[in-house]
Amino acid sequence: MTKCFWNGEIVPVDTVAISPFDLGFLRAYAVYEGVAAFDGEPFHFDDHYERLRASAHTIGLSVPYTSEQLLTTLREVLRANELSKGRASMRIVLSGGEADHGIGYNPGNETCIVLAEPAKEPAYTEGGSLLLHEFQRNLPTCKTVEYAVAVSLQAERVARNAAEILYHTKGELRECATSNIFLVKNGVLITPDKEILLGITRKITIDIAHSLGYTVEERTVLLTELETADEVFITSSFRDIMPISHIEDNTVGNRKIGPITETLIQAFKKKY
Amino acid sequence: MTKCFWNGEIVPVDTVAISPFDLGFLRAYAVYEGVAAFDGEPFHFDDHYERLRASAHTIGLSVPYTSEQLLTTLREVLRANELSKGRASMRIVLSGGEADHGIGYNPGNETCIVLAEPAKEPAYTEGGSLLLHEFQRNLPTCKTVEYAVAVSLQAERVARNAAEILYHTKGELRECATSNIFLVKNGVLITPDKEILLGITRKITIDIAHSLGYTVEERTVLLTELETADEVFITSSFRDIMPISHIEDNTVGNRKIGPITETLIQAFKKKY
């Protein structure tokens, strides 16, 4: 039986009973983190905690646990699920708890759930494809549970065998539904810097690229720049660095996993 | 013990156990309706059902109940809570049910909750006040559970004793956090028509205004038009028509409940 953390306890996930008055369920008033774990240890936990705290602050939500307490909790959830070896995918949801008059938040009664499941090490033998969708998230730097548009696009994504959905607006790239995007052009990495979620895998990738001597441009990226990119890849906690070979029906570069993408993927694995 | 409808049954609300994998909780993939009821009968149920269906359609969510089935359910929830006399406030939440791979929706496993609570008949002896907030909802015509910004503003609203939060963007009025807005100028009703939720109380109010011979302009409304409005009011299922006497620190008209607002409030009550 899968176990999870629910408001202070490790319990079988089937016994969790979220109230219909919970502000997470009733009003999408909740923040979210997806965290990779390796051999029982959450990866870059401090970065995830800091973003969770910042997201919560943006919507006025209190985080009832210190960084140390939440890290201990994540380790306990991994142990309870016998995930002390290999890779795991974890999710943290922190909501405002039961609503006051259907919409008010009373600090001190938050709902916190931590889930974990076993995951395979990503191993890309070919690139995936992206679908395009014109969309701009509200509160883009804030990682709330606002993924309704992302969910609504999954059926088409699966039907078209695509890896991800790439959001763009006003002719500019933003981010993918659950990942960040990078282009490589003439040996330079290029990635959007505004109106997006600043991903932790994105940050680690930029750090790795710098350490390998690559130039990284964090700037406005036009949709048209996709056409001339030599390589494209996406980054997220559950994918690490994933090569992209197609965008809609267009081929990226030479279709194969690009050399810089491959170099970054290998360097990333050494960070675990 | 308060009772509610949960996936086919009327149960005590404390026994509802929403899963942490529910797409409503995990991904805000859910649609919402707030419905007034009078003497055991939902008010303008057909309009609410039609909007629920349209909202669900927008995000690709299936509605597992016909209009007749859901109406019967709402009546049962009212009866189970002994709300067969007087006014009640009802909420319907329909979510995608348990997530597939954390983000996918499998039609046929939706979660549907119907809640009811007793409500007092709104009786306004003076006007309320509005706070301003620059914001544009995503999927504005779609009534999802995306209310995180609305929730985040409630503490300030309560602290400043305001009735509602008025969203505006690019110098144009949109809607309030949980209601629509109307201005009255020179005997004409003016209300925004784009990038907003098309409220059912808004629609009923427009119909009443027409029947009383007033002109109603549904159009782009500038923020600056608030300054010269003779009367302002807001509309929602739980408020009916609520007069507004102040916007931030500015007085609307002569501060009192305006004569056209009062006429509409009285005419609205005859519709129950």
**Residue A189 C-alpha, separation from nearest chain B C-alpha, in angstroms:** 29
Average pLDDT over residues B158-164: 98
Taking one residue from A and the other from B, the number of pairs with CB-CB distance under 8 angstroms is 170
**Residue A236 C-alpha, separation from nearest chain B C-alpha, in angstroms:** 14
Judging by DSSP bridges, how do beta strands B128-134 and B240-247 pair with one another? Answer: parallel
A13: nearest CB among B20, B60, B113: B20
Query: ∠ at Cα A113 (B12, B20), nearest 5°?
Result: 50
Query: Which residues does chain A have within 8 Å of residue B137's beta carbon, measured at their own beta carbons?
Result: 138
Whether residue A25 and residue B26 make contact (CB cut-off 8 A), yes or no, is: no
Q: Is it the case that residue A82 has pLDDT exceeding 90? A: yes
Residues in contact with B193: Cβ distance below 8 Å, sequence separation at least 6, in sequence order: B218, B219, B220
B27: nearest CB among A17, A21, A145: A145
Q: What is the pLDDT of residue B255?
A: 84
Q: What is the pLDDT of residue B212?
A: 98
Say which CATH architecture domain B3-119 belongs to.
2-Layer Sandwich (3.30)
Q: What is the pLDDT of residue B44?
A: 98
B91: nearest CB among A32, A102, A151: A102
Q: What is the pLDDT of residue A255?
A: 85
Q: How far is the C-alpha of B230 from the C-alpha of A102, rounded, in Å? A: 32
Whether residue B20 and residue A93 make contact (CB cut-off 8 A), yes or no, is: yes
pLDDT in tens, A46-56: 999 999 999 99
Residue-level length of chain B = 272
Q: How far is the C-alpha of A61 from the C-alpha of A92, rounded, in Å? A: 14
Average pLDDT over residues B20-46: 98
Q: How far is the C-alpha of A239 from the C-alpha of A165, rounded, in Å? A: 14
φ, ψ of residue A113 in degrees (nearest 5): -120, 135
Q: Is it the case that residue A1 has pLDDT exceeding 90? A: no
pLDDT in tens, B128-154: 999 999 999 999 999 999 999 999 999
Query: Which residues does chain B have within 8 Å of residue A176's beta carbon, measured at their own beta carbons?
Result: none
Residue B243: beta bridge partners? B233
Q: How far is the C-alpha of B224 from the C-alpha of B222, rounded, in Å? A: 5
Alpha-carbon radius of gyration of chain A: 19
Average pLDDT over residues B174-197: 98
Q: What is the pLDDT of residue A51?
A: 98
Q: Does domain B128-269 have CATH number 3.40.50.300?
A: no
Whether residue B25 and residue A137 make contact (CB cut-off 8 A), yes or no, is: no
Query: Which residues does chain B have within 8 Å of residue A28's beta carbon, measured at their own beta carbons?
Result: 28, 30, 144-148
Mean pLDDT value across chain A: 97
pLDDT band at B61 (very low <50, low <70, confident <90, very high): very high
Tell me where in chain A the CATH 3.30.470.10 domain(s) lie: 3-119
Q: Which residues of A183-218 are buried (b: 16+ CB within 10 A; e: fewer)?
A: bbeeeebbbbeebbbbbbbbebbbebbeeeebebee
Residues in contact with A9: Cβ distance below 8 Å, sequence separation at least 6, in sequence order: none
Query: Which residues does chain A have within 8 Å of residue B148's beta carbon, measured at their own beta carbons?
Result: 27-30, 59, 139, 144, 146
Query: Which residues does chain A have within 8 Å of residue B103's beta carbon, measured at their own beta carbons?
Result: 147, 150-151, 154, 177-178
Q: What is the DSSP string of A84-134?
A: SSSEEEEEEEEE--BPBTTTB--TT--EEEEEEEEEPPP--SS-EEEEEEE
The candidate with the shortest Cα–Cα distance to B235, out of B201, B207, B203, B263, is B201
Q: Is it the case that residue B199 has pLDDT exceeding 90? A: yes
Query: Which residues does chain A have within 8 Å of residue B135's beta carbon, measured at their own beta carbons?
Result: 138
Q: What is the pLDDT of residue A211?
A: 98
pLDDT band at A151 (very low <50, low <70, confident <90, very high): very high
pLDDT in tens, A89-121: 999 999 999 999 999 999 999 999 999 999 999
Q: What percent of chain A has pLDDT over 70?
A: 100
pLDDT in tens, B80-125: 999 999 999 999 999 999 999 999 999 999 999 999 999 999 999 9
Q: What is the pLDDT of residue A59?
A: 98
**Residue B92 C-alpha, separation from nearest chain A C-alpha, in angstroms:** 9
In terms of Cβ atoms closer than 10 Å to its own Cβ (0-12, 13-18, 19+), residue B224 is: exposed
The candidate with the shortest Cα–Cα distance to B157, out of B149, B165, B166, B167, is B165
Pull the structure tokens for residue B83: 């709300």
Pull the structure tokens for residue B14: 């404390």
Whether residue A18 and residue B13 make contact (CB cut-off 8 A), yes or no, is: no
Tell me where in chain A the CATH 3.20.10.10 domain(s) lie: 128-269
Q: How far is the C-alpha of A128 from the C-alpha of A103, rounded, in Å? A: 41
A23: nearest CB among B15, B93, B151: B151
